């Protein structure tokens, strides 16, 4: 049985990885470790570059703790960035910040980039999944109701497409699981590229 470590404390990523393993009939008792990397963007870094760099740094940080393990674990790192005209939207720091983010997203399209990196021993592979998301126009009453749920806090771009935030979204083109935080098709491809399976 392959030992898997998810380099994330995100409940959404835990749920998605669990779904993927169940789909393959694999055990779901994977480990979780917080990477503890600095998530601040580098000056001049694009949202795409930021998402991919942080995914790599998260996976490598956790993998480096297990270099002396008898059996090398498969370490999975991911990072999600909302891209508004080349500006990276991370997680809001408070409700006022979340409101300003959602007002910027209102009635227009943006992209959600999720970088994924897998490390197994000395081998590593990574990829970026980008999804176009279009939001409905959001009036103050809609924003008030959504902010009152508390859901925007801790979510890139201040909304959760898999939760109550779904009502804010007019359409998406691309990977839904990528918007949630872990694009499962991309992850499966990367694991396959390393010559590994889920069992």
Would you name the residues annotated as active-site residues?
A: 79
Cα 42 to Cα 51, 53, 170: the distances in Å are 11, 10, 32
Q: Find residue 32's DSSP bridge partners.
A: 6
The CA distance from 62 to 192, in Å, is 21
The CA distance from 11 to 165, in Å, is 16
The two structure tokens encoding residue 50 = 């930021």
Phi, psi of 113 (to 5 degrees): -105, 125
């Amino acid at each position: 049985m392959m030992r898997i470590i998810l380099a994330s404390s995100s409940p959404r990523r835990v749920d998605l990885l669990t779904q993927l393993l169940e789909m393959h009939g694999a055990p779901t008792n994977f480990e979780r470790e917080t990477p503890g990397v600095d998530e601040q963007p580098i000056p001049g870094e694009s949202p795409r570059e930021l998402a991919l760099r942080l995914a790599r740094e998260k996976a490598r940080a956790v993998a480096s703790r297990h270099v002396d393990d008898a059996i090398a674990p498969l370490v999975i790192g991911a990072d999600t960035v909302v891209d508004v005209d080349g500006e990276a939207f991370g997680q809001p720091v408070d409700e006022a910040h979340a409101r300003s983010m959602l007002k910027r997203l209102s009635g227009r399209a943006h992209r959600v980039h999720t970088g994924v990196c897998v490390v197994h021993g000395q081998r590593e592979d990574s990829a970026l999944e980008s999804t176009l998301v279009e939001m409905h126009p959001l009036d103050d009453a809609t924003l008030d109701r959504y902010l009152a749920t508390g859901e925007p806090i801790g979510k890139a771009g201040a909304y959760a497409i898999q939760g109550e935030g779904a009502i804010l979204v007019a359409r998406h083109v691309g990977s839904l699981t990528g918007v949630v935080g872990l694009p499962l098709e991309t992850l499966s491809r990367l694991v396959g590229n390393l010559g590994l399976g889920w069992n």
